[in-house]
Every structure is written in structure tokens, then in C-alpha cells.
Amino acid sequence: MDQTAPESKAGPRGKADRIRDQLLASDLEMTSAWAEALVRAVDAHRLPSRDEVILEKLRGDLYARTQACLKQVGDLTIVVEESDLAFAGRAIYHAATDQGSVPAALYEAGVQQLTLRKGVEPGELRELVHVLRSASDESEESSDDAATLLWDQSFEHIDYTCARLEELERRAPSDSTAGRRSRR
């Protein structure tokens, strides 16, 4: 009768799979915390009575989480879905409602991905937060969508990918954002 533990039957491949799964879980936890920090910072900038001390703390938290992510996973590529932000094929942030949400504002403008690269500065993150606030704030009367606002910033360490015009027209032919051009 074989008394070998099931773990050893899996062999090196099973162990490698477990290690990979643990690393992915760690990356997902870290990027999820980053996405929450991003959305908290965006939401805080919408408040009419913004306390600068609190805003600075939220921006500092976002910067620290961004640096930790970049150190652990390298370039941080976030996939934009209609109600979600995703990393490595998994949702890391889900907006309960599309109305005024960061994912919806990006998605509606045709932004498919955001990538933060090593070297991103606090000022770039601050501007990203302002872009996302402006794009997702339905009370703000701006004719520019998220893709246009991102283009206007000319970020050095933040890239984005947008859907082709044809894809936007197929997705929502009556959507007024379909005719807007974007950087990539």
C-alpha cells in the first residue's frame, strides 16, 4: 500500500502550479488594493468640501501602492471593462453602478487598457486622478471624454490603448463618444 502523500504525487509540476497560483493571488490582492486606492482618490476629489490634508493622504497612499505594484509585477497593465478594472484576466475592481464610475467613463470613451510604468511620478498620478474625476463626474459639464483628457496630458509613464473607431461604432452606434478620436 502506497503511503506517499498526495502532494508528492503531484511532483514538481504541481508544486510549480501552486507557487504560480500563490504569486498570482498576491499580485491580484496588491493590484486590487491599488485600484481601490485609485477610486478612493478620484471619489474624494469630487467632494465639494475637499479637505486638502485628506486628499494628500489619499494621493500618498495611491503613490505608495503604485510603487509597490510596479516593484512586484513590473509594468501595471489594467484592462478596462464596462463595470470593471481587471488585471491578469481577473476583476480587481467592480463598480456597483456604471453611473459616474471610473471603469464606465474609460470604457465609454473607448479606453481598453491603462498601463503605469516604472518611473511614474506623484504629479502624473495626481493628473491621472484629475482626468478620471473629470471624465466620470456627471455633474461636470465637459465635452471631453476620458480618452481626450488622457491625450491632453501627454503622460510620460502612463500609457493607454483605445478601441478603434470602428469597434466603438459597432459597440454603441448611437453613443456620442463613438466619434471622438484618441491617442492610440
Q: pTM score, two decimals?
A: 0.79
In the prediction, which pLDDT does 174 show?
45
pLDDT digits (tens, 9 = 90+) for 123-150: 999 999 999 999 988 766 666 889 999 9
Within 8 A by CB and 6+ apart from 40, the residues are 58, 61, 62
Rounded mean pLDDT, 32-58: 91
For residues 128 and 109, is the Cβ–Cβ distance under 8 A? Answer: no
The SS3 of residue 114 is strand
25-32 contacts, C-beta under 8 A, 24 or more apart: 26/72, 27/72, 27/73, 27/87, 27/88, 28/87, 28/88, 28/90, 28/92, 30/65, 30/68, 30/69, 30/72, 30/73, 31/69, 31/73, 31/76, 31/78, 31/87, 31/88, 31/92, 32/87, 32/92, 32/93
In the prediction, which pLDDT does 3 show?
53
Asked if the model's pLDDT at residue 13 lies above 90, the reply is: no
- pLDDT classification of 10: cutoffs 50, 70, 90: low
Between 92 and 173, residue with greater pLDDT: 92
Q: What is the mean pLDDT of the chain?
A: 84
Closest to 82 (Cα-Cα) out of 102, 61, 67 = 102
DSSP state of 176: G
Q: Where does the chain show beta strands of DSSP type E?
A: 76-80, 84-87, 90-94, 111-116, 158-162
Asked if the model's pLDDT at residue 155 lies above 90, the reply is: yes
Rounded mean pLDDT, 60-83: 96
In the prediction, which pLDDT does 113 show?
97
- pLDDT classification of 116: cutoffs 50, 70, 90: very high
